[in-house]
Structure 1
Amino acid sequence: MGLPWIPVSTLWRTLRKICNTQLFSIKKLSANQNLRRRKVEELLANVRRSSLTDPDSEDFFPLLRKIDPLGLRRSAAIHFRKIFDLLDRIMNERLQFRKSPGSVKNNDALNTLLDITEENSEAISKTRIQHLLLRCNEQVLFVAGTDTTASTFQWAMAELLKNPEIKSKAKAELEQTIGKRNPVEESDIARLYLQAIVKETFRLHPVVPLLLPRKAEADVEIGGCIIPKDAKTFVNVWAIGRDSSTCDNPNSFKPDRFLGSEMDVKGRSFEPIPFGGGRRICPGLPLAMRMLHLMLGSVINSFDWKLEDGTKPEDMMNMEDKFRITLDLAHPLRAVPVVL
């Protein structure tokens, strides 16, 4: 069971602390910014390569995706198994290294988990560590992290292509601030119009529209309604973001509404709360915010983008929601990058 589904307990507090202090702390993320920069550069290189090649057969005939003629799913499964084998080997090597005389421990996430095991085996066992680093990563960090970030990125790109004047404003600022075709640096994020675009995307298209279920610890009255103890509740952040009493033209994509506003998406403001709030707030928020700004800013600053088949922005109709655990575009965005 992954961290989001564990009830509040000693184990939950331990895992939450590890996320906050080891995986997603400001200090740890700052130390790894070169890795994120390199991944963004790889993304730009892949987009550039794709712009110079013909579309895959699966793009012309979507039915082919079910039989996977290019072997993409098979290849992904093989690489996932290799990742798990590698992590297994790293953990075994670390355990052996800790037993060797004179070994010096570094303060990374794995050593922190092993330290907790030695101090209190009831809080987290070695089996739990392996589950957290391997299987939990597959189901929670890989899926919850990459899938939700990719979905938000796609929504942002779709809105920018549908609203070219907003894209032009962001692009002009990027060219003036960091120079055309240069990737965005994390130090640039705080002063960019891009922040407002990302916030507006979260408001209009929250990737987890009902958040994760909560359980009432006691009877509570909210707005004249009694929520009984132990009741499971959902927070409709999709509806909250589109409430006309808190923002004008709530169904329109208008990033300027966030300029000069104290509203944010980090759980301190109750209008847009795409990551939730309180002690159950998404622990990956700091990483997600960094990656979205880096990816979005870099791709619109490095390429011109146009809709497929000469579609005009005003004719862009495929913006319906597809409701799952996450909120996706019902019709995936089909955009063509043009190398500058």
Structure 2
Amino acid sequence: MALNPAIDIRGIIWSWWWEESHRVLVFTLSIALGVIWLRKSWKKEKVPLPPGPRGLPLLGSLPFLSPDHHRCFAELSQIYGPIMKVRLGCKLCIVITSPSIAREVLKDQDTTFANRDVPAVGFLGSYGGLDIVWSPYGAHWRMLRKVCVREMLNNARLDALYCLRRREVRHMVTQVYSNIGTHVEVGEQMLLTMFDVMASMLWGGTLKGEERNHVSAEFRQYMEKFIGLLWTPNVSDFFPAIAWLDIQSVGRRMKKVVLWFDRVFESVIDQRLKTEVLDGEERRKNDNESNDFLQILLRVKDQGDTPRRPSP
């Protein structure tokens, strides 16, 4: 029996449209259900953030912050409450202005909030965040804290180093007394004495004479540079994606400061090791109670009983 060509064409078109419409419908429903599921799961996993100023795209609230940050945040807390979020470039910061909440974060929940975001310059100045300030809470940090508290900063050790501190203070008083009748910057003298005390407690009498004075003077200068670079606002901290550019050259300057410290510390350590070889073990035993920090660290290194940080 012959078929009507018109009916065959209409049937083919109808069947094709019916099949394709079903496919499109199934595909559209699948996409819609996937989007709904993703939105629900994203909302469940996302931690709700406190309120805060919206800021500008990419820049956040950086253009609106005054130099007096404490006053600026105090004014914002009157609007958004004691806990608020502030976007500084690409970084999200949580600002706490309530003493009770700050006590809970810094004291009651200190283990939870122990880790710190290492700034770009701090990362370079602490050999990749390995010091006690920037290290994440864990075995490595606990080892550093144990060495500092038990070996270096305990009462017995500080009492043993009293003679070093007294020597530097007496040297300062002698200098001030020799300048009777002239203008004396007491604050500057106190700052210089503080650095001399630090150097004495670090490596004691390893450096002597002109070498000691020269290294102490440079030590003060480079320590001031080190602290100044840490406090310098750095674009790399707000925009980590362009940190490798080092737009302000802060990282390059910090590397030079760290290289100077490395050179001085290596020189002092070499001199101390040579002195110990010449003086012998007996003197080290008799002088054990008046060891400076360098001697303590060398002894801890020789004992080898402190756990090392696992390599990443």
**TM-score interval w.r.t. the shorter chain?**
under 0.3
Compare the two structures and name the one with the higher helix fraction: 2
Q: Which has the larger radius of gyration?
A: 2
| TM-score (norm. length: structure 1) | 0.24
> Relative CO higher for 1 or 2, CA cutoff 8 Å, sep ≥ 6?
1
| TM-score (norm. length: structure 2) | 0.26
